[in-house]
Chains A and B, each alone.
Chain A
Amino acid sequence: MTNRITTEMITGSMLNDINSSQAAMDRSQAELSSGKTILQASDNPYGASRAIALQSQLDGLGSYANNVQDGISWENTAGGALSNINDVVQRVRELLVQASSGIDNQGDLNNIATEVDQLTETVKQDANTQYAGQYIFSGTLTETPPYQPGATDAYQGDAGTVTRAIGPGSSVTVSTDISSLLGSGQGSGDGKLLDVLRTISEHLRGGTTEDKNALSSTDLKGIDANVATLTQLQAGAGAVDAQLQSAASRIEDLQNTTTQILSNTQDAELAKTSINYSNQQAAYDAALRAGANIVQMSLLEFLH
């Protein structure tokens, strides 16, 4: 004997089927409107935890990208200041060559000395360049200007380095040790730029034969030695800049890859979901039609 089919079984299973097609449609609709396949952790528990990790990784890459951009701006500011100092040094060298090639008039020499003094102040001003409110040449004493304007030439910063994190466990030193170029002035006798400039000015004003001889010998050598140091510093800054630029493009690649993986993990495939949705709509429609027919049908229809 076959199973008896009763009225309640028919209505019950029809209702179940209609409910489940509606649930499937509801799900597709939610995926389409949010654009995501993982709406709740239970939709794909492993995928959800992976999406969380990837999103954090992506945010982290964003932070590194910010650090790199900040480092590049810092480095550009430093490069500009060093380039200004270079201009000044070249001008001083010109003046020095001019003075040591037979200007006898002490008045003219004094004028040159005054210009050298002014240029010395310009160098100190360039050293006091700030980026985002921080003195970039003061080591980690970023709130203290490295050189005070006026007679005192002592370096006020420290030997600390400022770094920017550009990746997990990797960072770049963006600060430049300006004291290796400028030194701490005549008092220290360190032969560095400020010491040399102050000495040149002294020799220009001195007027003795020894002073004049010194201009063309030790002073010129001193300037040239400092030009070499400056070139080194500029090369160093350029190298850091290149390193940051390459980090920026590496981070951008990583960001693209991670975004792609995150999208694969949690985003809905619109085409596929749309097709599913259409199929589900058709199925739902059919279930409703069939249900309407079956429920009405009974022997009652045919008896009179």
Chain B
Amino acid sequence: MSIPTLQGLQTALSGLLAEQQAIDTTGHNIANANTPGYSRETAVLQTNQPLVIAAMSPMTGEGGQLGTGVGVATFTRIRNIYLDAQYRAQNAALGAASTQAEELQQAQGAFNEPSSTGISSQLSAFWGAWSELANSPTSEAAKEGVVSAGKSLASSFNQLSTQLQAISTQAGQHYAALTGPTGEVQDYANQIAQLNHQIKLAEQAGQQPNDMLDRRDELLDKLSSLAQVSVEKQPDGTDTVNFGDAAKPLVSGSTVEWPQTLTAAAGGQLGALLSLTGPAGALASYQAALNGVAAALASSVNALHTSTPFFSGASAATLAVAVAPGQVQTSSTADPGGNDVAQKIAALRGGAADQGYAALVEQVGSDVRGAQDEQTNAQTMTTAIENQRQSVSGVSMDEEMTNLISFQRGYEASARTMTAMDGMLETLIEHTGSVGL
């Protein structure tokens, strides 16, 4: 049994083609080194079907298999789906912590403490004005001072209350924008559904749609910042995407089920927005505590200012000075020189209102700090997992260069084999049988 004459050329050609495809893949990797969500690919080389030669050995007459070169079995993308799941879980935590920190920092900014313009300074100035009045109980200027200090204090309460309300309203609007018909959730879900459809078709045709898979994973990564995402891989290549605590899958095959109801347990940015703006959320609790301080201030001052209530309104939004300078009461008697009421009100400094407000500032401060710490931790965790993912899937230039050299040398060697074959054939065709000619 003999070997086909041109078999050697075919073997060398398979080497040339395979090395070329490997070089192309390397080129694709290098080109996408900085593409977000890209996973490096490798051309998986495999030996070709061997040539079976019966009774090959002239000694024993036994048959054998002759290698016929190499081919690319498949182009695989290198990716670890377990790291993807971990990354998305951490990314949801990061989205929640960042949103929480951002909104709470806004609230902290509204308080603007400690400063010389915040409510604490206004309160202090208000008590100081009463002390001044106690020294000059008949002075119109001192009474005017008390009323104007009271008015700016009340208006600071009003403003802070309005600002807290506005932060809550804006957070609600942010949630509505993200989840609305033109929002990110709908957009990502539509794209994922479309990719599901295309991936299914490609896989049915026996292709490996690596770049579409990368794009779908990238979209899932982005979606995971909005709420917790869990993915069920289907046999037909599609992903079923569960989103937050929504009752039905967000994407199933090529269908999208949105809008759905989420709660604070959804995690991610959306969960954080719902938890902040909810009735038991941080913003509502600040508003309630601020109302408590305003009520304590109004009731403690009014209890001493018995002629007519000094403050009207018992919430931060409605607190106002209810008296004109002429109505300011300095004494419990009609004597112009009496100052017992003014002294008692001045002595309210450091009382329930001051303590309540300082405690509220401390609460806001520690909430912000907690949220910032959480954000830092989540960021660290996300970065660590992203690094692991990159370590698996990312493109390393050094590695690609090394591969490039090895594939290039392989290509050159295959070409040399082909030259050798060519030389052999030349000998056979040109010089054989010409003995004695």
Contacts and interface: CB of A to CB of B under 8 A. Distances in A.
A-B interaction: yes
Interface of A: 3-9, 12-13, 16, 38, 40-46, 48-53, 55-57, 59-60, 62-64, 66-67, 70, 132-134, 138-143, 158, 160, 162-165, 168-169, 171, 266, 298-300, 303
Given A140-B335, A140-B338, A66 B131 contact: yes
Nearest to B340: A163
Contacts of B388: 3
A297 to B, nearest CB: 9
B331 interface: yes
Interface stretch (B133-141, B274-282, B315-323): B133-141
Contacts of B364: 41-42, 45
Nearest to B369: A42
Given A142-B138, A163-B343, A63 B335 contact: no
Nearest 9 A-B pairs (CB), nearest first? A41-B365, A6-B394, A142-B337, A45-B365, A140-B335, A42-B368, A49-B362, A140-B337, A63-B131
Given A12-B390, A41-B108, A41-B368, A160 B335 contact: yes
B46 interface: no
A142 B336 contact: yes
A13 B401 contact: no
Contacts of A40: 108-109, 365, 368
A60 B350 contact: yes
A4 B394 contact: yes
A162 B398 contact: no
Interface residues of B, number: 66
A165 B136 contact: no
A67 B337 contact: no
Given A8-B34, A134-B337, A300-B401, 11 more contacts: A7-B394, A13-B387, A41-B113, A45-B362, A46-B362, A48-B362, A49-B365, A57-B350, A141-B335, A165-B343, A299-B397
Contacts of B372: 42
Contacts of B398: 298-299
Contacts of B63: none
B47 interface: no
Contacts, number: 191
A9 B350 contact: no
B346 A165 contact: yes
A140 to B, nearest CB: 4
A52 B361 contact: yes
B386 A56 contact: no
Nearest to A265: B114
A142 B339 CA distance: 11
Contacts of B350: 53, 56-57, 60, 168
Contacts of A303: 401, 405
B80 interface: no
Contacts of B196: none
Nearest to B360: A49
B128 A134 contact: no
B390 A52 contact: no
A63 B387 contact: no
Given A52-B357, A132-B136, A45 B127 contact: no
A70 B135 contact: yes
Interface stretch (B6-14, B118-126, B168-176, B251-259): B118-126
Contact of A6 (B124, B361, B368, B390): B390
B333 A52 contact: no
Interface string B321-333: 0000000000101
A22 to B, nearest CB: 15
